[in-house]
Structures are given as C-alpha cells and as structure tokens.
Amino acid sequence: MTLSLRERRRQQTAHDIQLATLDLAVQKGLENVTTEEIAAAAGISTRTFFNYYTNKEAAAVGAPPAFTEAAKEALRDGSGPLADDLKLFLDQHVAALTKDEPILKMIGTVLRSNEKARGILQGFLIMERRELTECLSHRVQNPQAAAALASNTTDAVGRAIVLWEHEENLSLSAALDVVWEGTIAAAALLTSTS
C-alpha cells in the first residue's frame, strides 16, 4: 500500500498538473490555454508536461477512479434483485467520485465545451462498460442483455452528474437516486405491452 517516494511524487505532479489545467481552463476556456501556461502554473517544463499527459485535454480529465475489486465481486456474486445490486454498486462508485467534488465540477465545465476531452473520457467509460459487462455476464445469460445493463448503469452515472451540476442543493448521491428511479421507470415502460 505504501508507495515509494518516486511513485508519490509522480502522482503528486500528475495531480498538480491536472489542477493547474482545470484552474486555467475554468478561467479562460481550455482552448485558450497553452501547454506552456499549464506547465508554468504547475512548476514544470513544457517537455515534462508531455511526459505526464499526451495533451491538455487528457490533463484536464485526469484518471477517473476505477471500480474496486470488492464492488465488482459483490455485483458478480450478489443474490438480491439485480436492480438493487446494481444500485449498490453505483452508490459505491458515486461515493468515490464524491471525494473530489470541486474537480468533478471543473471537469464538467471543460467537457461541456471540449470535444477532445469528451472523447478521452469516453475512452475510460468504454473500458468501464467492458468491465461491467464482464461482471454482469456471470449473472445474465444473454450477452446483449448484459451489455445493455452495463450501458444503462454507466449512463446513469453520467446523467446523475449532469443533474447534480444543474441543481444546486442536490447532492451527487441524491441525484443518482433520482436518475436511478428514472432508469427503473424506463425499464417498466419498455416491458409493459400497452
């Protein structure tokens, strides 16, 4: 668990760069920020910036928290109603996101106006969906159903974040509750035959 000095410094620098990037991006829009400025603000050389991130959009997005092994196992081996187990899984993931709310808000700002940043985030989301699909295929026979559930689930996180950004006075986990209710309602509508 204890990281070496090198590792810790690396993570620290990566984090510093992300903060510097988001800070400048929120002020002037990421398009109008140069890598040179970011590097200066983070106290490193331009060349070093590119040793950490391939571009400023990746620096803004950073590395989103991964699913924990524990949460994945609980989902794979769970025995409750699927909807409940998925909700528990999501609650854990959203709790991890909540650790860094200010950063999350800033990333949201950037994503709204930057295509490249959206693409990078989507790369992470695709990997998350793959992980989830794999988990779910232990409980669901139909692989397309597993994929659909995984999409539903990761989409719910995205919609919860959007809702949370719009509504002041709504915590992220409360937003997830609202969104999840909508997801279940949508499922009911899809299965009803009238």
Partner DNA sequence: CGCAGATATTGCACTATACGCAAGGATTTC
Partner DNA sequence: GAAATCCTTGCGTATAGTGCAATATCTGCG
Find the helix or strand (DSSP H, E) in which 114 lies: none
In the numeric block, which tokens belong to residue 80?
């409750």
Binding of DNA by 194 (CB under 7 A): no
Binding of DNA by 166 (CB under 7 A): no
What's the distance, CA 52 to chain centroid? 19
Cβ at position 185, least distance to a second copy in Å: 4
Kindly list the residues in this chain that would bind a second copy in the complex (CB under 8 A): 81-83, 86, 114-120, 122-123, 140, 142-149, 151-152, 155-156, 159, 163, 178-179, 181-194
Binding of DNA by 11 (CB under 7 A): no
Among 51, 113, 142, 171, binds DNA (CB under 7 A): 51
Binding of DNA by 118 (CB under 7 A): no
Tell me whether residue 84 is exposed, middle or buried, using C-beta atoms within 10 angstroms of its C-beta: 0 to 12, 13 to 18, 19 or more.
exposed
Among 22, 56, 62, 94, binds DNA (CB under 7 A): 56
Among 11, 28, 55, 83, binds DNA (CB under 7 A): 55
Cβ at position 158, least distance to DNA in Å: 24
Cβ at position 38, least distance to DNA in Å: 8
SS3 1: coil
| Alpha-helical segments (H) within 1-81 | 5-28, 35-42, 46-52, 56-61, 69-77
Among 11, 28, 29, 36, binds DNA (CB under 7 A): 36
In the numeric block, which tokens belong to residue 94?
């959203």
SS3 19: helix
Tell me which residue has tokens 């928290």. 65
Contacts (Cβ under 8 Å, ≥6 apart) of 124? 61, 63, 64
Binding of DNA by 46 (CB under 7 A): yes
Residues that bind DNA (CB under 7 A): 4-7, 9-10, 13, 33-36, 44-48, 50-52, 54-56
